[in-house]
Amino acid sequence: MSTETLRARLRLPGLDATNGVWPALAVALIVGGTLVALDGGSLFSESSTISLLQRAAGLGIVAVGQTIAILAGSLDLSVAYVISLTSLVAAETMAGSDGMVLPAILLVLVVSAVIGLVNGLLITKLRINAFIATLGVGLLIKGYLEQGYAGPAGSVPVSFQHLGYDRLGPVPLSFLLFAAVAAAVWFTLRSTRYGHHLIATGGDLDVARLSGVRTDRVLIRTHVICSLCAGIAGLYLASRLGAGAPRVGAEGGYDLESIAAVVLGGTVLAGGRGGVTGTVGGVLLLAVIDGVFNQLEVDSFFKQMVRGVVIVAAVAVYALRLRRTSDRRKAAVA
Amino acid sequence: MQPDSDQPLLRMRGVGKAFFGVRVLDDVDLDLHPGQVHALVGENGAGKSTLMKIASGVYQPDAGTLELSGKPVTLPHPRAAQAAGIGIIHQEFNLLPERTVAENVFLGREPLRRGLVDRRAMHARTAELLAGVGETAIAPQTRVGRLGVAQQQVVEIVKALALDARVLIMDEPTASLAEHEVELLYNLVRRLQQRGIGILYVSHRLTEVFDLSGRITVLKDGRRVTTLDTAEATPDTLVRHMVGRELSHYFPERAAPGSAGAARLQLAAAGNGRLRPVDLELRSGEVLGIGGLQGSGRSALARAVFGIDGFRTGQMLLDGVPVRVRSPRQAVRAGIAYVTEDRKGEGLALSQSVLDNALLAQRAVQPRWFARAARTTTVRELLDAVEVHAAGTGQEIRYLSGGNQQKVILARWLAMKPRVLLFDEPTRGIDVGAKAAIHDLIRRLADDGAAVLMISSELPELIGMSDRIVVMRDGAIAGELPAGASEEAVMGLATGAATSTEVPA
Amino acid sequence: MSTELATPAPAVASGLGGGGRSGWGVGSIRPVLIILALLLIAVGIRQPDFYDPPVLLAFLKRAAPLIILAAGQYFVIVAGDFDLSVGSLVTAEVVIAARLIDGDPAATWPVIALLLGFGLLIGLVNGLVTTLLQVPSFITTLGMYLVLVGAVYTWTGGSPRGALSEEFRMFGRRGIDGVPVLGQLPYAVLVLSGVAVLAVLAMRSDFGKVLLAVGDNPRAARVTGARTARVRTIAFLASGLLAAVAAILLGGFGGVSFQVGQGLEFTAITAVVLGGVVLGGGRGSVAGAMLGALTLQTLLTLLNLLGVSGALSSAVQGLIILAAVAVGTLRRRT
Amino acid sequence: MRRSTPFLLAVCTAVAVGVVGCTSDVPGASPSAGPSGAGTGETSKFFVQADHDNELALRTKTATGPADKPWEQALDPKTVDTAKYKKAGPYHLCFSNAGVGNPWRQVGFKNMQAEVKLHPEIKTFTVADAESKDDKQISDITDLLGKGCDALIVSPNTTATLTPAVEQACAKVPVIVFDRGVNTKCPVTFINPIGGYAFGATGAEFLVEKVKPKGKILALRILPGVDVLEARWGAAKVVFDKSDLDVVGVEFTDGDAAKTKTIVTNYLQRFGDIDGIWMDAGATAVAAAEAFEDAGKPFPAIVGEDQQDFLKMWQDKKLTAIAPTYPTYQWRTPVIAALKILNGEAVASPWKLPQPTITSDNLSQYVQADMPPLHYAMCGCATLPGYPKDWGGK
């Protein structure tokens, strides 16, 4: 125990699964880098770096939202369709005119917030399991999209496309947006009451409730924020694609991919443990794997297999580490 | 500002509550004055916890009123209760293992600076509070999950203190504490008393009630039986009020000295990560009591025998035959039964029926493809034999009282006809009536030739039940005492006052 | 009409495996029975000849695969896990069958045996990774999903090869002709009833009860002598096996394609939940799960009969699910 | 708003059905409720009259070029000068592929790879697979531009969304777009067969000719929002609207055989019999036909595509059928075009390839028993290296 208190006094982070993703990322970069180099390409050439970060951005923004949903002990399977919907809302509202950019952004935020609110209310007030609730909402949006849209619609003005195409050196604007969103959420979790209450809610609903946390509000707010992130991702895709695309979310597999990125980042699916930093690592890891295989021109199917194995393996390692620590803990107690 | 003490801090009038149409609380009055320790006693299911939950804003009363210092209040939410200055310490820890001590203590009311959580203030304040209860070993930044049970309890109390509560509700606060920690709690309670805080103290342990309380309210079947000054009360009168019948709780007749049979369970230098090599002999027909403080290795011993955290070194013999028990399953098959101290966590499948819970062991260990009528009938008989009170064997077990749940678990094991039974705190959180019944059962099992090992933190129980008492300390056997040893003797060995040469593992 | 529909209800209710209770409580099958009855009435009104035995049987034949999948998914869910890999498993099985049979009737039976074996194998892997490596089943099976999809495409070079033999397709397509009253008795229906009976028996057996206990409180189950890891693994085996059976029927019914399994995992889970089974385990009956699947299929048929466009059906599906689950939970709380 | 009305309506229906259950009086939701339930619904906003007429006209034109190599032929070509791109080999060819997610693209991609093998002057052939994700394909293109390609072939995932990326590319290298177009004229050439309108019309006209007046037609579509498929339906719709056929339903099948069969079976129950099946893609033609077989109904007049399983069934069961094609040999042409461009030879732009139709007369020459069921007969790949093994044949 005394070493523990020392460690705590020195503000050293305890052994935490979320740290695990960074070594993994390093390994991926080194191994991948060498493989690509042997193949005669370069993983770190400007163009490939750009497209790597570029692709990390979209998923990243969604994954950050997904992170807090999972941290709060919930889950959001509707994000993919929210992305598609908001990309359309954005593009159709802008309809190519610079003047409409701001209104469109606002509208997108409102729409996604409302969807998040619905998710939250279904889960808290009607007590529907988050899995089913968000799945159902997703289906509703899907139906609306399939019914209403026969393909890409609307168009965004060039001024708005900067978000999708500009960059500072090798770093795309969109990646900075991702970083900003992540930072904001990280800060929220660390330094606001809501953040503390969120993690408490995910850790143990009853404890949080009995400690005076309004868990329902926390969950609702969490789902709103999660949807907002999806909305922002939708905005980014709209600017990237120059139009709204009714299937971009589903085809991108953002729902399961984001969850994968989150757990890859060491956040526990059961909630209450983990964080945004891990998720950022998870997203980068997936992006690097993607990039490497792109450079090596490995066919996408094989890539998918590897992705599946990596995810399971990573979580298995985390689980192992958790058990080790908890064993040590038990030993200390007895 | 101190309200004058003739005005009650908390006044409840005609409080009633029903679940699914079942009245669990009916027209209850209660006054709690500043600086008063008001004990709330009654059997399980008497409505104590419901009353507490109403007082702490978890439940809303269907009828009746609450007043705080004369002002009527409604507590729609625990937060409202906190704001009103009502704090509650629950029986089970309400802590988040993943969060730091400070984050736990201030959960739900984190101090803010410019709208943001002020960690520095949070840590400083927590350190103060910890110092206030004489606990300096804990750093506010420590993750609670890394603390020991007793320390977590302290955090739990500090968490309530952080409220500056005027009213403090304590639900079985000593349930998870070892004897020497109880003393620490006593001092705490008295200190709070001096601060003019009113304490609603709920406990099954009458000794505590008499040690601490100034006034006592007795509940039975959701109604208030009586409220009286502790000075006027005696244990017997109190028990009479609680169970509605004269019941001076004496323990069942011990086995005649020397009547114990052959050695059933023998441990030879058996140890593991938490236990130093232990030598122990458990004979058929005897009840062997295991005493010791929390974390002294009592439970670790039982869990090792039962194969939950099995022995790594040494040898274990059943009826003289060496056995290796690596999992509970193997233990059960070897004829060992284990009644856990953590009923909800380890004992019961709460959503399943009484019958399914009672049948679980047989089904798990000797699965059949087609339901066995014979099995079911025997288990039904056993359930009757141990006098389980339930709406029916099909009822979900979550709705039974602790005592009845414990009886179901007993029936479950009896059906396996075990040779060795391990009881870990068999009567924790169980009301007086059921207690006696369970004690009788344990004794009867021993008389029928089973070998019983019984862990208990409750010294009267330990001494009253056991034919021999082994006391543990720091994961090793500190010493053995004969039947009817004195509480002092037990505590002496447990705390190391007797021989303080041992060094912690 | 409603009475003739309602009568089977008690029969089914009494025949439940496991924790299903009559009444409105969680795990009760009454809500789904009522919804099903309403849907059946509606269908009957729009298409009076729906209750002619042959038509009804044809309907059951189409519903059989989903019902069987739901039964498999039930075992996993009631043990507290998920199986997201069934959809891709179905696809894999069909594609494998086509390539191995390659139109050769003689190969039919060996291949069927192999398919069942493959289903068990996948279930085994899911189970072991989940229990031994303690990876949350959501992640395990998500990974398995990715691996299977990738593997199948890689193996077939991206487009199914070979062809199914008529003998193989018989199970999903044909039936015993000339049965009095019924006309044709589809093999699929026979298989379905076989699976249903076995599933219910399994849940009434000791294994079923232990499975429920494990899903309810694994620690308690273990301390009572249950081999929790083994029990959960068996649940995954069942899921894999039944997925294989469903695949055989689906392949027979529709023939080879990569789409055959798409999204089935979510449909199955939805069906199970619709049947009153609680995600997280320990509550609900296999009969309910299968009825849930039947209800879902009926709903789709009805939507088609009502001329609700294909695009919309997903939206309506989502709505019905939310409504049903919400009603279930609300009823419980009053 | 307009689009959301039927949505709401159906939702209300659902509430009625699912929750209240007062379905006995839901005539409001009779087949006319959903737009697709009756008639052919609204005209897709993808429908462009001019292109439509142009394509239908093209069907009768005769192609210039080697008769035995339709993938080198072009319909009334307007050539463009490419001298400015002339450059000495060996070449580095790049290809941004939308994806290989379906058999058609699989066969096509195999054709392209084989075609590359035919040309030693192609030193490296770099492919980026977008996995049918628009945003990935955009990144892919930027990525490829960093690799020093001499020419870039693009098969866009969607038209609108890829346009900016392609414009970027045009500035750096000669770009060849095929299959799906982009909304910009910057590529050197755009290669595709006559197109969707022709495909759709051919099938529809066949039904008009074969099915008795007032006959019931069921239109089966893969999924909405894919321009090629939208065009096919757009043209078919024009034909049907002009005819006296009764289109009883337009359904989306997701290309799932089982789902298709279920839908068709439901329609057979609902309307007793269906006289003609129109499809925007042949993938599920067999399943649709089987639905009739299993229901013990006579086969309808049916529109399929050039996939082997359908052609085989057609031959065995003597179906009344037609198979307009969207030939996969068009995947060979971009490589040929790229090399022409790099040689400074003029190329047709746009490069319209002929789009043969399989009828019962020429059916026998396209049935290839030893090829996989989902292989596309119109692949022009029989002479390519690695055939038939690489295409999964034996």
In tens, the pLDDT along A135-185 reads: 999 999 998 998 888 778 888 998 898 888 888 888 999 999 999 999 999
Q: Residues 219 to 278 of A: which have CB under 8 A from any B CB?
A: 272-273
Q: For position C280, what pLDDT does the model report?
A: 85
* B10-243 matches B263-495 in fold: yes
Q: For position C31, what pLDDT does the model report?
A: 82
Higher pLDDT, B134 or C148: C148
A13-22, A71-80, B490-499 — which is least confidently predicted?
A13-22
Assign B248 a pLDDT band (cuts: 50, 70, 90).
Answer: very low
pLDDT beyond 70 at B335: yes
Assign D275 a pLDDT band (cuts: 50, 70, 90).
Answer: very high
Q: What is the pLDDT of residues C139-152, one digit of tens each?
A: 999 999 999 999 98
| Whole-number average pLDDT of chain D | 85
**Considering the entire predicted model, what is its pTM?**
0.85
Whether D188 and D86 map to the same domain: the answer is yes
Cβ C207 vs Cβ C231: under 8 Å: yes
Assign B499 a pLDDT band (cuts: 50, 70, 90).
Answer: low
Does B391 touch chain A if contact means CB atoms closer than 8 Å? no
B134-138, D198-202, D211-215 — which is least confidently predicted?
B134-138
Assign A328 a pLDDT band (cuts: 50, 70, 90).
Answer: low
Higher pLDDT, B269 or A48: B269
Domain B263-495 in CATH 3.90.420.10: no
Contact residues, chain B to chain C, C-beta under 8 Å: 306, 308, 327-329, 331-333, 338, 340, 345-352, 356-357, 359-371, 412
Classify B30 as helix, strand or coil: strand
Q: Residues 250 to 309 of A: which have CB under 8 A from any C CB?
A: 256, 259-260, 263, 269-270, 299, 301-309
Contacts of C47 in chain D (CB under 8 A): 269-270
Cβ B275 vs Cβ B300: under 8 Å: yes
How many structural domains is chain D composed of? 2
- Please tell me whether the peptide bond between D193 and the residue prior to it is cis, using omega within 30 degrees of 0: no
CATH number at residue D124: 3.40.50.2300
Alpha helices in chain C (DSSP H): 2-6, 8-14, 30-46, 53-78, 86-101, 108-131, 137-156, 166-173, 187-204, 206-216, 218-223, 228-254, 264-274, 286-305, 310-333
Does C324 touch chain D if contact means CB atoms closer than 8 Å? yes
C210:B364 CB<8 A: yes
Measured in angstroms, the CA of C220 and the nearest CA of chain B are apart by 4
In a 10 Å sphere around its CB, with 0-12 CB exposed, 13-18 middle and 19+ buried, how is residue B107 labelled? Answer: buried
Classify B480 as helix, strand or coil: strand
Measured in angstroms, the CA of C98 and the nearest CA of chain D are apart by 10
User: Which DSSP letter does residue C20 get?
Assistant: -
Measured in angstroms, the CA of C206 and the nearest CA of chain B are apart by 5
Contacts of D200 (CB under 8 A, 6+ apart): D231, D232, D233, D234, D235, D236, D237, D239, D280, D324
pLDDT beyond 70 at D262: yes
Nearest CA to B410 out of B456, B447, B371, B360 is that of B360
Q: What is the pLDDT of residues B43-79, one digit of tens each?
A: 666 788 889 889 988 888 989 999 988 889 988 888 7
Nearest CB neighbour to B308, from listed C206, C223, C227:
C223
Q: What is the pLDDT of residues C77-91, one digit of tens each?
A: 999 999 999 999 999
Question: Which residues lie across from B40 on neighbouring strands?
Answer: B202, B217
CATH classification code of B10-243: 3.40.50.300
Classify B17 as helix, strand or coil: strand
Q: For position B434, what pLDDT does the model report?
A: 82
Which tokens sit at C313?
């059906």
Q: For position B190, what pLDDT does the model report?
A: 85
Mutation to test the C interface, candidates D256, D271, D273, most C Cβ within 10 Å: D256
Whether D108 and D255 map to the same domain: the answer is no
Assign D341 a pLDDT band (cuts: 50, 70, 90).
Answer: very high
Q: What is the pLDDT of residues C112-122, one digit of tens each?
A: 999 999 999 99
pLDDT beyond 50 at D12: no
Give the neighbours of chain A: at least 3 Cβ pairs within 8 Å: B, C, D
Q: Where are the domains of chain B?
A: 10-243, 263-495
Nearest CB neighbour to B349, from listed C26, C206, C217:
C217
- Please tell me whether the peptide bond between B173 and the residue prior to it is cis, using omega within 30 degrees of 0: no
Q: For position D13, what pLDDT does the model report?
A: 43
Q: For position D147, what pLDDT does the model report?
A: 85
Q: For position C144, what pLDDT does the model report?
A: 96
Q: For position A2, what pLDDT does the model report?
A: 42
User: Which DSSP letter does residue B474 get?
Assistant: T
Percent share of chain D, pLDDT over 70 = 89
Angle between helices C137-156 and C86-101 (to 10 degrees): 30
Q: What is the number of CB-based contacts under 8 A between chain A and chain D?
A: 104
Alpha-carbon gap, residue C310 to D163, rounded angstroms? 30
In a domain, D251, yes or no: yes
Cβ A65 vs Cβ A225: under 8 Å: yes
Chains B and D touching, counted as 3 or more CB pairs less than 8 Å apart: no
Alpha-carbon gap, residue C4 to B502, rounded angstroms? 78
Task: Looking at mean pLDDT, say which of B143-152, C299-308, D90-99 comes out highest.
Answer: D90-99
Measured in angstroms, the CA of C15 and the nearest CA of chain B are apart by 14
Q: Return phi, psi of residue B117, to 5°.
A: -65, 125
Give a three-class secondary structure readout of chain D.
CCCHHHHHHHHHHHHHHHHHCCHHHCHHHCCCCCCCCCCCCCCCCCCCHHHHHHHHHHCCCCCECCCCCHHHCECCCCEECCHHHCCCCCEEEEEEECCCCCHHHHHHHHHHHHHHHCCCCEEEEEEEECCCCHHHHHHHHHHHHCCCCCEEEEECCCHHHHHHHHHHHHHHCCEEEECCCCCCCCCCEEEEECCHHHHHHHHHHHHHHHCCCCCEEEEEECCCCCHHHHHHHHHHHHHHHHCCCEEEEEEECCCCHHHHHHHHHHHHHHHCCCCEEEECCHHHHHHHHHHHHHCCCCCCEEECCCEHHHHHHHHHHCCCEEEECCCHHHHCHHHHHHHHHHCCCCEECCEEECCCEECCCCHHHCCCCCCCCCCECCCCCCCCCCCCHHHCCC
ipTM score for this prediction:
0.83
Measured in angstroms, the CA of D166 and the nearest CA of chain C are apart by 27
Q: What is the pLDDT of residues B278-291, one digit of tens each?
A: 999 999 999 999 99
A45-49, A61-65, D350-354 — which is least confidently predicted?
A45-49
Q: Residues 164 to 223 of B: which have CB under 8 A from any A CB?
A: none
Give chain D's end-to-end CA distance (angstroms, integer).
54
Q: For position C71, what pLDDT does the model report?
A: 97
> Could you tell me the sign of the dihedral formed by the alpha carbons of C323, C326, C331, C332, in that order?
positive
Alpha-carbon gap, residue A79 to A262, rounded angstroms? 14
Q: For position C330, what pLDDT does the model report?
A: 66
In a domain, D9, yes or no: no
Q: For position B339, what pLDDT does the model report?
A: 94
Q: For position D37, what pLDDT does the model report?
A: 33
| Whole-number average pLDDT of chain B | 85
Q: For position B490, what pLDDT does the model report?
A: 84
Distance of CA D375 to the CA centre of its chain: 14
Alpha-carbon gap, residue A206 to A270, rounded angstroms? 15
Alpha-carbon gap, residue D158 to B345, rounded angstroms? 55
Q: For position B138, what pLDDT does the model report?
A: 86
Measured in angstroms, the CA of C246 and the nearest CA of chain A are apart by 23
Classify B256 as helix, strand or coil: coil
Helices first, then strands: H and E counts in chain A: 15, 2
A197:B143 CB<8 A: no
Mean pLDDT value of segment B205-220: 87
Contacts of C154 in chain A (CB under 8 A): 299, 301-302, 305
Nearest CB neighbour to B110, from listed A196, A332, A334:
A196
Does B97 touch chain A if contact means CB atoms closer than 8 Å? yes
Q: Return phi, psi of residue D43, to 5°.
A: -75, 130
Cβ C208 vs Cβ C18: under 8 Å: yes
pLDDT beyond 90 at B39: yes
Contacts of D126 in chain A (CB under 8 A): 297
In a domain, D99, yes or no: yes
Chains C and B touching, counted as 3 or more CB pairs less than 8 Å apart: yes
Measured in angstroms, the CA of C204 and the nearest CA of chain B are apart by 7
Contacts of C250 in chain D (CB under 8 A): 258
Q: What is the pLDDT of residues B371-417, one digit of tens each?
A: 678 888 999 999 998 888 888 888 889 888 888 899 999 999 999 99
Measured in angstroms, the CA of C81 and the nearest CA of chain D are apart by 28
Q: How many CA atoms lie within 13 A of D7 on its CB side?
A: 19
Alpha-carbon gap, residue B202 to B169, rounded angstroms? 8
Cβ D357 vs Cβ D321: under 8 Å: no
Nearest CB neighbour to B340, from listed C206, C223, C225:
C223
**How do beta strands A171-172 and B10-19 pair?**
unpaired
Does A214 touch chain B if contact means CB atoms closer than 8 Å? yes
Q: What is the number of CB-based contacts under 8 A between chain B and chain C?
A: 92
pLDDT beyond 60 at D32: no
Q: In degrees, to the nearest 5, what angle opens at C-alpha B105 toward C-alphas B99 and B111?
A: 100
Nearest CA to D373 out of B284, C256, B349, A61 is that of C256
pLDDT beyond 70 at B129: yes
Q: Where are the domains of chain A?
A: 56-273
Structural domain harbouring D170: 63-193+329-353
Higher pLDDT, A146 or B243: A146
Contacts of B164 in chain A (CB under 8 A): none
Q: What is the pLDDT of residues B350-368, one digit of tens each?
A: 989 999 999 999 999 988 8
| Whole-number average pLDDT of chain A | 87
Measured in angstroms, the CA of A207 and the nearest CA of chain B are apart by 5
Cβ A242 vs Cβ A155: under 8 Å: yes
Contacts of D139 in chain A (CB under 8 A): 50-51, 54-55
Q: For position C146, what pLDDT does the model report?
A: 92
Q: For position B178, what pLDDT does the model report?
A: 64
